[in-house]
Amino acid sequence: SGVFLREIAKRLIEGLKEEIPDLQKRIDHIFHKQLYGIAITELTSLLSRRSVYCSKYPNSKYSITLFKDTSGNIRYKRIPHRWQNGKCLFCGASKSEYERGDELETHAYEWIHTIKPEEIFKMKFDVIIGNPPYQLETANKSLSNGQLPSKSIFHHFQLSADQISSGLTVLIYPGGRWIQRSGKGMADFGLQQINDSRLQTLYYYPDSTDLFPAQVAEIADGISI
């Protein structure tokens, strides 16, 4: 919903007072040259722009900084999955469940449905912050506990971030399986991350309610940052 971008903007507006004394020039510089976001759905793109630009459409008179288009630097692009043998080549989503009409979200997240994520904004970034989607439901039939089988996708966001980051990356996602290198696709990912020389700090919370209220999310794997 744009919370990360909004809080960063508040700090930059305060921190750049001496370098750019004029408030409007400072706001324009921050929103046009420093802050960029990739929304995961059309709805969250509208929410994020409303939170950050004070308008869903930053080319309108209500926006606190004026862009030429309706997206500004917070983009959402509806893209299709790329199917092969009934599954998406990028995220592994099932074609039978995620090949949808325009009335439904495809959940083909732009950031992880490309081999060149740096081409989205034509640049690399000094800082990347995110709490990406953790998983996709993969079957219509429920498990014995009433939940649907799921496929982890959070690690794809980490791998894309590794490609477009030239500085600091901070991501929040489930912690247990990839650290223990258990579960489908987690062994290779965990080994790669643990051996990556860029990994500076790992916080692991076995009890997800230490970070998120229980009524919001209770994640069996815990949370890692």
- The predicted pLDDT at position 24 comes to 97
pLDDT at residue 217 above 70?
A: no
Of 22-31, 78-87, 203-212, the poorest mean pLDDT is in 203-212
* Average pLDDT for 152-162: 92
User: Mind listing the pLDDT tens digit for each residue in 169-202?
Assistant: 999 988 878 888 777 778 888 888 889 999 999 9
- The predicted pLDDT at position 117 comes to 92
- The predicted pLDDT at position 164 comes to 92
User: Mind listing the pLDDT tens digit for each residue in 30-83?
Assistant: 999 999 999 989 999 999 999 999 999 999 999 999 999 999 999 999 989 999
- For the chain, the three-class secondary structure string (H helix, E strand, C coil) is CCHHHHHHHHHHHHHCCCCCCCHHHHHHHHHHHCCCEECCCHHHHHHHHHHHHCCCCCCCCCCCCCCCCCCCCEECCCCCCCEECCEECCCCCEHHHHCCCCCCCCCCCHHHCCCCHHHCCCCCEEEEEECCCCEEECCCCCCCCCCCCEEECHHHHHHHHHHHEEEEEEECEECHHHHHCCCCCHHHHHHHHHCCCCCCCCCEECCHHHCCCCCCCCCCCCEEC
pTM, rounded to two decimals = 0.86
Residues in the chain: 225
Q: How far is CA 33 from the centre of its chain?
A: 20
